[in-house]
Structure 1
Amino acid sequence: MPYTYEKRWAGLGALCLAMSIITLDNTVLDVALPSISTDLKASMSELQWIVDIYILFFASILITIGALGDQFGRKRFLKIGIVLFVLASLGAGLSTSTLELIFFRSLSGVGAAFIMPSTLSIITHMFTDSDERMKAIGLWSMIFGLSQGLGPLIGGFILEYTSWHWVFFINLPIGLVAFLYASWILPESHNKSAKADILGMVLCVLFLFALTYGIIEAGVSSWSDSSVRISLIIGLIFCAFFILWERRCSHAMIPFELFEKRTFTIPSFAIALIVFGMVGSMFFFSQLFQTVEGYSALEAGLLLMPMTLGVAVGSKYAPDVVKMYGAPLSIGGGMIISALGMAIFVFTIDVHMPLWAILGGFLIQGLGMGFSMPPSTDSIMGSIPKEKAGVGSALNDTTIELSAAMSIAILGSYVNRIYLLHVKEIDVDFTLLKALKTSIQAAHTAIASLNDNALEGNLLHLVDQAFIEGVHHTMIFGCLISVMSGLLAIWLLPKNT
């Protein structure tokens, strides 16, 4: 059945299916991290790389790959992306070491960068009526949010009945159907005048990876370590080259002039902080629930669901809040509400954390996010000239992905550093201490093999408290930053935004 205009809604289904595998992938992975750590003996820094490598490749090449897709064929790039993603998922599921898994996760990120911009570009091409296009993008956004939100629950269900390998294998049948469906019904489209900023993309990849490596390694050793300092310096040098090039390039991947507008910069910063808090929470609490508190993967997935529910409810009522109180108060107030959710964790986090605090904290945190994100996105897109709407949308997606990557790198490094400082004080032999320092999962496995109930109980208490202490400090940090940023958003955003 070749594509005709009447088949545009069926074509939208193919695009949503293709997009769902890349949005589902990361949040499904969150609840699998403790199992991966135990099975592959992955350290905290390796867990950070397993998550971050995907996001970094995805975010750093997204805009340029989108321009190349416009030039050489959007449908072609979509299909290439699906094939890459499926093969990378197969490799990830078959991985027997963290190095293999990190490699295949990087390929998944490349595949995702081919898929994501192609979906929106094809939607714009298929839906020529503006009202229909808005409805189509609305449905696309709903599937995007739904697949992200259901990720922890689906991941928990998979781990309840199979192994962590299947959080990657699940992408194979979905990807196969999406490839056949897209090949069958989607039209090919081009924009021959599009130009890709290849040098900008290379510089972006280099500076992001150097900075991320330095930040993650600082959590293992220290900020004074020579390799950490060298990595950060290299990252900053490439960052400077990137900015200089982007300001001179006629087809730059990032139009820096947009950041001169408060209605673009402040909401972008707000969204970055919201995603920073959400991704960090899911990364740590999935490990806290399963390894420290003893919940199953499915139970951990269910405990994370109130955040998704809060985002959905907040997003639904955000337009009414904006009408009543204005966008600055909705954006800034939402960030402060989100901070209140984190404040509940600050005061209640423990080995036996009360259920009401878990559910209530995530619900309030999600509600604040929901109030902030729609008016932030609307302000961003409203401040961009129509002829640059595609670039602005891609830049918004890149901001979201990079803030997620930085959340894992910065907060993970912070938690790992505090955890290691506490564990180093435990008086045990060198072999056991090495296992305790690897990760909280490795610590539990090593302690369980001691066959000494009294010693086991004491050591478990010490390592659990070390991990909780790290997460507790990140919640304090996140809470304070969200409150201050929310107040700044209320103060600095124009009242008619």
Structure 2
Amino acid sequence: MKKNSGLFGLFVAIFAIGFGFAYVDSNLISMKTALNLSLGQTVLVINVFIFFMITTLMPLGHLSDRLGNKLFLTFGILGLGIFPLLFALSTNYTWALIFRGLEGVSAACILPTSIAYLTTHFKDFTKSMAYFLFFFVLGLLIGPLLATMAEGYVTWNFGIFFMPVLCLIAFVLTRSLKETKIPGHIDYLGMILSFFATAIACFTILRSLNLETKQIILLSIVALFLFVILLVHEHKHKFCLDPKVLLHPTFIVCALASLILVLLAWIGYFASALYLQNMLLKSPQKLEFFLLCVPLPFILVTIWSAYMDHVKAIGLGGLLLGVGYIIQSFFTLETGNLQIVVSMVLIGGGIGFMLPNLSGLALHSIWNKTKATESSIVLYIQSLSVVIGLTLTGAILRFQGQLQYFRDLAGQKTSKSVGDVIVSFFKTPQKFFSNLEDLTKVFESRVISFLQDEFLEKYRMIMWILVGVVVLIVIMGIFGAKKKKKRK
């Protein structure tokens, strides 16, 4: 019972990370208004959590192995309870940004250590990743759901006040966990190189829409140079992880496949949300309902997939995911609700079958004892896809802004043609301004129609590209499963 209480504490901590991240991102408009933020500042508040989480993930994973996994798990839980609360109480942009960033650092303390403990408990890499993903995505689901239900009744930061309660429960339950550490030197230089290389790479990706090509190339070269120095340093000293281990075929293939899959899920989810918002639905409540159709099946099948054969789980997941995107490629303005629900359920279920197995295979291929370092590397690679996804989402939202701009201007569409309005200018010159307004509506309606057609065409193209990517991921996953490293 005491051993299981520590396990439940890990689940609560993992859930809290997903919940806190998703809840804030679901209240952007209310937060923007309450803190008087510009659009750029609001985006930065979103990105700063991911930025500091991914930049500190590997350094903190290494430190926790050297100084104690339970120690850093405790630091992370305490930080996750305190910093979101301070963020919720912030009255200006600067403090909101600082506390949101520190929340990301706290999450980076918890993530690798929790997977290390889960793997020790289950003695199975796929199962540990499945349970981790189950509770993390459950948090991602409950956060927006609570935000939607509470909207209009309470303040934007209402849900964040649950974070200290969740973290208090996690803190009490995880006291039963045993401290684990691996004696050795602390690789300060490696941690510094990892932090700055990742920071420059993430900054370049997140700001790529606003940077000039020369700046992107220069920053990319600097980041790549730092990563090369890091690998050479690690190869020589082997304080963290021998780079030769990272060359194992299973790790390369499965880690890359999991990165692409997370990115695929991110793009597909936001593309679907954008499509539903702009093309089919008028009610925000309906939009929230349809978007729940992705994480729900993911949660339902994730743990089940961990008890399946790798090849079968990856193959079945790829089939569901591919069919889901094929269905979406046939969406039109007349598409019914059933078709939408079926496609999104298939997508969520497909990702749920594939991701735990791909992540488990990648982790299995580089695991050495009970180390948070290896966990941080797998999570690091998957987190990169979230950074890329945030950038692509920004590009998608730019097009959405165009569409919404013309839609707002046009207001109610007119049935008149351009010719009808021009004739009206001659027949009723005294109604000049009224005729001019009609002409404006006609042109704006045509622009909306053009943008909708353009969006549909691009959306269909994106869906078919995603189908091709799914096939590639399945091939990579099956290859990784067949080449699975045999462990003694």
Q: TM-score range by the shorter chain?
A: 0.7 to 0.9
Question: Deviation string for 1:409-454 (max 9, x for gaps)?
Answer: 2x124224445677899998xxxxxxxxxxxxxxxxxxxxxxx999
Which residue is equivalent to 2:376? 394
Aligned to 1:414: 395
One-letter code aligned to 1:496: K
> What's the counterpart of residue 283 of structure 2?
295
How far residue 111 of structure 1 moved from its aligned partner, in angstroms, is: 0.8
Give the Cα separation in 2 of the matches to 1:340 and 1:32.
32
Once the 2 structures are TM-superposed, how far is the Cα of residue 112 of structure 1 from its aligned partner?
A: 0.7
Q: Which residue of 1 aligns with 2:416?
A: none
CA deviation after TM superposition for structure 1 residue 146, in Å: 2.9
Percent of aligned positions that are identical: 20
Alignment correspondent of 1:29? 24
8 Å CA contact 1:423–1:466 kept in 2: the answer is no
What is the aligned length? 452
Q: CA deviation at 1:81?
A: 1.7
Number of the residue aligned with 1:367: 349
Residue of structure 2 equivalent to 1:341: 324
| Bigger CA radius of gyration | 2
Give the 3-state SS of the residue equivalent to 1:189 in structure 2: coil
Q: In the alignment, which residue of structure 2 is the partner of 1:311?
A: 298
Could you tell me whether the CA contact under 8 Å between 2:126 and 2:361 is conserved in 1? no
5 Å matches for 1:224-243? Answer: 225-226=211-212, 229-243=214-228
**Equivalent pair of 1:67/1:195 in contact (CA under 8 Å):** no
Moved more, 80-89 or 114-123: 114-123
Match of 1:434 in 2: none
Of residues 247, 254, 261, the one that matches 2:248 is: 261
Amino acid at match of 1:414: A
Matches within 5 A, 1:444-463: none
Structure 1 residue 22: deviation in Å?
0.8
Residue 144 (structure 2) aligns with:
152
Structure 2 residue aligned with 1:442: none
- Structure 1 residue 191: Cα displacement: 1.9
- Which of 171, 177, 181 is the matching residue for 1:179? 171
2:84 is matched with which residue?
A: 89
Question: Which string of whole-angstrom CA distances, capped at 9 and with x for unpartnered residues, describes residues 134-184 of structure 1?
Answer: 9888755543343334333233223363232224232122223333444xx
Counterpart AA for 2:254: P
Question: Aligned-pair distance for 1:94?
Answer: 2.8
| 1:486 corresponding residue in structure 2 | 471
1:31 positional shift = 2.9
Superposition RMSD on alpha carbons, in Å? 4.3
Q: Is the 8 A contact 1:55 1:402 kept in 2?
A: no
> Which whole-Å CA distance do the structure 1 matches of 2:179 and 2:307 have between them?
38
Greater CA drift, 68-77 or 185-194: 185-194
1:248 is matched with 233
Shift of 1:272: 1.2
Picking from 11, 14, 19, the partner of 1:16 is 11
CA contact (8 A) 1:310 1:363 kept: yes
Question: Partner amino acid for 1:233?
Answer: L
Aligned residue type for 2:337: L
Displacement after TM superposition at 1:214 (Å): 3.6
Supply the AA of the counterpart residue of 2:479. L
The structural deviation recorded for 1:21 is 0.9
1:74-133: CA deviation from partner (whole Å, max 9, x where unpaired)? 3332232223222321232234555543332211100111122333445567x5x959x9
- The alignment status of 1:356 with 2:338, answered yes or no, reads yes
- The answer for unaligned runs of 5 or more in structure 2 is 410-436, 484-488
Say if 1:104 and 1:334 are closer, same or farther in 2 by CA, change over 3 A: same
Report the counterpart of residue 155 of structure 2 in structure 1: 163
Question: Could you tell me which amino acid in structure 2 is paired with residue 304 of structure 1?
Answer: L
- Give the SS at the match of 1:383: helix
- With over 3 angstroms needed to count, the CA separation of the structure-2 counterparts of 1:18 and 1:370, relative to structure 1, is closer
Give the Cα separation in 2 of the matches to 1:169 and 1:114: 21
2:102 aligns with one of 99, 107, 111 = 107
Instruction: Please give the TM-score of this superposition, normalised by the length of structure 1.
Output: 0.74
What does the per-residue CA deviation read over 1:323-344, in whole Å, with 9 as the maximum and x for residues that have no partner?
xxx72x7536634642442344
For residues 22 and 468 of structure 1, the distance between their equivalents in structure 2, rounded to whole angstroms, comes to: 39
Q: Is the counterpart of residue 118 in structure 1 residue 103 in structure 2?
A: no
CA shift, 1:380, in A, is 1.9
191, 202, 206: which one aligns with 2:196: 206
8 Å contact kept, 1:45–1:413: no
- Does the 8 Å CA contact 2:294/2:347 hold for their aligned counterparts? yes
Distance, in Å, in 2 between the alignment partners of 1:488 and 1:17 is 31
Per-residue deviation, 1:302: 3.0
Return the offset for 1:34.
4.3
Deviation of 1:305 (Å): 1.9
With over 3 angstroms needed to count, the CA separation of the structure-2 counterparts of 1:464 and 1:290, relative to structure 1, is farther
Higher mean displacement: 144-153 or 111-120: 144-153
1:332–1:486 contact (8 Å) kept in structure 2: no
Q: Deviations over 1:234-291 (max 9, x none)?
A: 2431232222222332246565434433322222122112211323444565677679
Is there any run of 5+ residues in structure 1 with no aligned partner, and where?
1-5, 429-451
SS in 2 for 1:493: helix
User: In 1, Cα distance between the equivalents of 2:452 and 2:216?
Assistant: 27
